[in-house]
Amino acid sequence: NAGVTQTPKFQVLKTGQSMTLQCAQDMNHNSMYWYRQDPGMGLRLIYYSASEGTTDKGEVPNGYNVSRLNKREFSLRLESAAPSQTSVYFCASSSYQAGNQPQHFGDGTRLSIL
Amino acid sequence: RKEVEQDPGPFNVPEGATVAFNCTYSNSASQSFFWYRQDCRKEPKLLMSVYSSGNEDGRFTAQLNRASQYISLLIRDSKLSDSATYLCVVNAMRFGAGTRLTVKP
């Protein structure tokens, strides 16, 4: 029972480097999400994909891009990493974006930007 | 004003105690509400959905007050294993910052 799988689990980057965080789900869910979690701030939505072929900005999209590669996979890209992007990143999926559908989370990627 | 607000705590309670958390939301049109649990350095996990009429799951009771725009979580007979951060979620994608609970022997 893999659920939502994120890779890598840990990463250290230098300022200005680029990186792609990978996320895949095997629950046949339509909707997928990327969040960042910083101390004392809770989870903040970066981007989401309500269904395959669509993506939308969340609360904090600046500095990020996403690709919904297919129904299973949703990647997050940092084009030019900045220290302010040091955070824990969570990917999640749900049956549908609308309605009373809870999300299932991956176990996170801990990213440090030096 | 933040869209979803929680008392950050920490709440420190003895085993067996009853503890309650509230979470306020600003969007009166909000339709879905959840409580998640997050252990230290782990991913959030769904604890329970919150229904308009209130709902219970074992020792946990969730309630919604639309007039005052808040949801609540009541934990009865606290266990050591209940120690965690509890996150409220509104409209599936808006998370509160969490309330930290420590249950002590």
- The pLDDT tens digits of the residues spanning B65-99 come to 999 999 999 999 999 999 999 999 998 889 999 99
CB contact under 8 A, B45 and A105: yes
Question: pLDDT of A1-59, one tens digit each?
Answer: 679 999 999 999 999 999 999 999 999 999 999 999 998 778 999 999 999 999 999 99
* pLDDT at res. A98: 64
Residues of B in contact with A101 (CB under 8 A): 32, 92
| pLDDT band at A100; cut points 50, 70, 90 | low
On whether the CB atoms of residues A109 and A9 are closer than 8 A, the answer is yes
Q: What average pLDDT does the structure give for chain B? A: 94
CB contact under 8 A, B97 and A106: no
Backbone angles phi, psi at A64, to 5 degrees: -130, 155
* pLDDT at res. B7: 87
* pLDDT at res. A48: 94
